[in-house]
Amino acid sequence: MTPRPDILWIVTTQWRAQACGYAGDPNARTPFLDALAARCVNYTQAVTPHPFGPFARAALLTGVPSPGNGVRDYFDVLPVGARTMAQALAERDYTTAFFGKWHLGRRDPAASLVGEVHARTIVPPENRGGFEFWEGFESGFLLNDPWLHGTRLTTPRQFDGYQSDVLGARAAAWQGEHVSGAAAAPWFALVSFEAPHPPYAAPAAGISPRDPREIILAPNVPRGGRVEAEARRELAGYYAHVEATDGAIGRLVTAIDQAQGRRGRALPIVVVTSVHGDMHGAHGLFRKGWPHEESIRVPLLVRQAQREAGRTGGAPVAGTTDDAAVSLLDLPAMTLAWAEGRTWEARPSQAAISMPSVVTLPQQCDRIWRGWRTRTRKLVLNADGSPWLYFDLERDPGEQQNLVGEAARFGEIEALRRLAGGPE
C-alpha cells in the first residue's frame, strides 16, 4: 500500500497574487518561491472566497463559505461545532498541527487591534478548530517578537525574532519531534503567517525597505497625488516583508524536507497561498474587502509529494501552470483527495467571491457584495442583486473599464448574475 502523503499548508496574509517574482512583479524579490514554482502546479487564477481575514480563514478551514461557516462579522468566533480540515484528516488517521495567526477567536472589540492585548488573547482549546497540536496567537499584528500560546504554552510567551521566522522554526521543530520514521502516521500542518500584513513600516528581518521612488506602480494606480505617494510609501515596506517571508518559507520547507529525508519519508505535499491581497492604491483604494484583482487574487502553489511528481490519472504535472478558476474553497477538497489517494480532478469554470458584511475599519470596502470570477470575466453584485462591476479580464486585466452600463454586454451580465444568485 502506498503511504499517504504528509501535507503542509503555508498560508500568508495580504500577499496578493501579483506580488511574486515568478508572477512577473519587478518589485518582488522572492527567490525561494520562484524556485518552488518551477516544481509546483501554479494556479494562476486562484482567488480567495472572501477578501478579508476572518471570513477567508473560516472558509479555508471548513470548506464552507461565510456566513454559512458561522463567521459573518469581523469579530465573530468560529463556532465550536464547526467541522474543520483538522477533524476530517484526524478521522483519516492524520496527526494535525496549527501554528500562527488564528484570528477566529473571541476578541475585545474595544481594545486596540494592534498590540499586545489581542496578541496575548487566549484561544481556549475548544475554539482551536480540532487541531491535535495548536500553537499560535489570536491577532495583534505584531510582525516582530510575537506572543504564542497553545498546547504546550498555557500562558502567552513572547518569542524574539521576526514572526515568520519564529513560526517557521516552531513548526519545523514540531515536525522533527512528532514524525519518528517512515512508518509513522501521516501528518497535516497549517502554518499561518501574518506577514506581509501591515504595519508595513515594521522591521522585516533586517531587509531594508525599498526607496519609494523606485517602486514600479501598476497603470491602475492614480498618479500625481496623495494616492501615489501613499502607495509608494507602503509598497516599499510591503515588498521588504514579502522578501523576508519568502526567506522564512524557504527555511521552513527546507528544514521539513531534510527531516523527511532523514526518516525515509517522501517529501510532503506543500501548499503556499494567502487569505487575501491588498489594493495598494489600485483604483485609488487601499487594504482589502474590495472585489478587485489586487484584493481577491492570491498565490496558490501546490508541490505534489515526491512519489507523485509525474502525471497520473489526469493530475497536472509539477512545474506547470493551471488557469482553472479555483478558489481557496477548493483547497479542502483537494487535500482530502490527496489524503485518500485520489486525484482532485474538478475543473471549476467560475469561483464565487463575496463580502458578507461591512468591516468598519479605515479604508476597507464600503458595502456588502457577491459575485463570480471566471478566467476571463468578473461580475460583482450589490447586496440587492443589482450589478455593481463587470470586467473583461482578458482585454482589461487592470479593471479600468466597468462594463455594467454597456448594452452589448447585457446578455453576459445576466447569465453571470443568475449564476451568482441575483434576482431574475
* Residue 184 confidence (pLDDT): 81
As a whole number, mean pLDDT of residues 167-181 equals: 90
Whole-angstrom distance, CA of residue 409 vs CA of residue 378: 12
* Residue 308 confidence (pLDDT): 38
How many CB atoms sit inside 10 A of residue 98's CB? 28
Q: For residue 340, which phi and psi values (nearest 5 degrees)?
A: -100, 5
Higher pLDDT, 182 or 353: 353
Asked if the model's pLDDT at residue 325 lies above 50, the reply is: yes
Q: What rounded mean pLDDT belongs to the chain?
A: 92
* Residue 422 confidence (pLDDT): 46
* Residue 318 confidence (pLDDT): 64
Tens-digit pLDDT profile for residues 95-136: 999 999 999 999 999 999 999 999 999 999 999 999 999 999
Give a yes or no: residue 358 inside a domain: no
As a whole number, mean pLDDT of residues 54-62 equals: 97
Q: Percent of the chain having pLDDT more than 90?
A: 83
CA angle 342, 345, 7 (to 5 degrees): 50
pLDDT confidence bin for 156, thresholds 50/70/90: very high
Q: Which of 171-180, 219-228, 413-422 has the highest mean pLDDT?
A: 219-228
The mean-pLDDT minimum among 180-189, 194-203, 309-318 falls in 309-318
As a whole number, mean pLDDT of residues 35-53 equals: 96
pLDDT confidence bin for 417, thresholds 50/70/90: confident
Give a yes or no: residue 269 inside a domain: yes
Give a yes or no: residue 399 inside a domain: no
pLDDT confidence bin for 183, thresholds 50/70/90: low
As a whole number, mean pLDDT of residues 397-411 equals: 94
CATH code of residue 161: 3.40.720.10
Whole-angstrom distance, CA of residue 286 vs CA of residue 284: 7
Give a yes or no: residue 157 inside a domain: yes
> Residue 166 is inside which H or E element, if any?
helix 163-178
Contact 219, 160 (CB under 8 A): no
Ordered alpha helix ranges (H), 18-146: 31-37, 53-62, 85-90, 116-119
155: which 3 cell numbers? 500562558
* Residue 349 confidence (pLDDT): 84
As a whole number, mean pLDDT of residues 402-407 equals: 94
Q: Percent of the chain having pLDDT more than 70?
A: 95
Give a yes or no: residue 354 inside a domain: no
pLDDT confidence bin for 1, thresholds 50/70/90: low
Q: In the chain, what's the furthest Cα-to-Cα distance?
A: 64
* Residue 298 confidence (pLDDT): 98
Our count of domains for the chain comes to 1
Asked if the model's pLDDT at residue 312 lies above 60, the reply is: no
Asked if the model's pLDDT at residue 371 lies above 90, the reply is: yes
Whole-angstrom distance, CA of residue 178 vs CA of residue 184: 9
Domain boundaries, position 183: 7-346
As a whole number, mean pLDDT of residues 167-188 equals: 88
Give a yes or no: residue 374 inside a domain: no
247: which 3 cell numbers? 526567506
Give a yes or no: residue 186 inside a domain: yes
Whole-angstrom distance, CA of residue 71 vs CA of residue 333: 20
Give a yes or no: residue 122 inside a domain: yes
* Residue 317 confidence (pLDDT): 55
Q: Which residues of 187-219 are buried (b: 16+ CB within 10 A; e: fewer)?
A: bbbbbbbbbbbbebebbbbebebbebeebebbe
As a whole number, mean pLDDT of residues 39-57 equals: 96
As a whole number, mean pLDDT of residues 227-256 equals: 98
